[in-house]
Amino acid sequence: MITIYQANSSIDAKLIQDQLGFADIPSHIMGDLLQGGVGELQPQGLVKVMVDEEDFEKAREVVERWEGEIKSSEKPNHLKQKMMKSSFSKILALIYVPIFIVGLYLLYLVIRYWFIR
């Protein structure tokens, strides 16, 4: 068996294994149970997807196609998140600026009451 994909998590490895299964390529995940023993550290490079050597070329094509689909679907999502952050900060500004102004006015009234009596 040869490593076809080194995953960041067992979820990524399972997704690759499913894609390989759809292409009728048998595969095996190595190290998916090791993640639980690390504790709070982020494990990297522990989970690998393995295939037989004779299926390596076909499996590599499947993995490359899957990675291409993931990368192409991330770009619009990134822009969407950027727009959401921008909209969220505008909404916060619309809420907090009037509250700040009212707070300043109340502070002015308190100071005026205490010092101008």
Contact present, 32 and 47 (Cβ < 8 Å)? yes
Q: pLDDT band for position 115 (50/70/90)?
A: confident
Rg of the chain in Å (alpha carbons): 27
Q: What is the largest CA-CA distance in the chain?
A: 93
Contact present, 16 and 61 (Cβ < 8 Å)? no
Q: What angle do CA 68, 72, 78 make, to 5 degrees?
A: 140
Q: pLDDT band for position 106 (50/70/90)?
A: very high
Order of all β-strands in the sheet with 47-51: 2-7, 47-51, 27-30
User: Domains of the chain: which residue ranges?
Assistant: 2-115
Q: What is the reported pLDDT for 69? A: 76
- One DSSP character per residue, 41-80 reads S---S-EEEEE-GGGHHHHHHHHHHHHHHHHHHHHHHHHH
Contact present, 7 and 45 (Cβ < 8 Å)? no
Q: What is the reported pLDDT for 51? A: 92
pLDDT tens digit sequence for 69-83? 776 665 555 555 655
pLDDT tens digit sequence for 38-53? 555 555 667 888 898 8
**Where is pLDDT greater, at 100 or 77?**
100
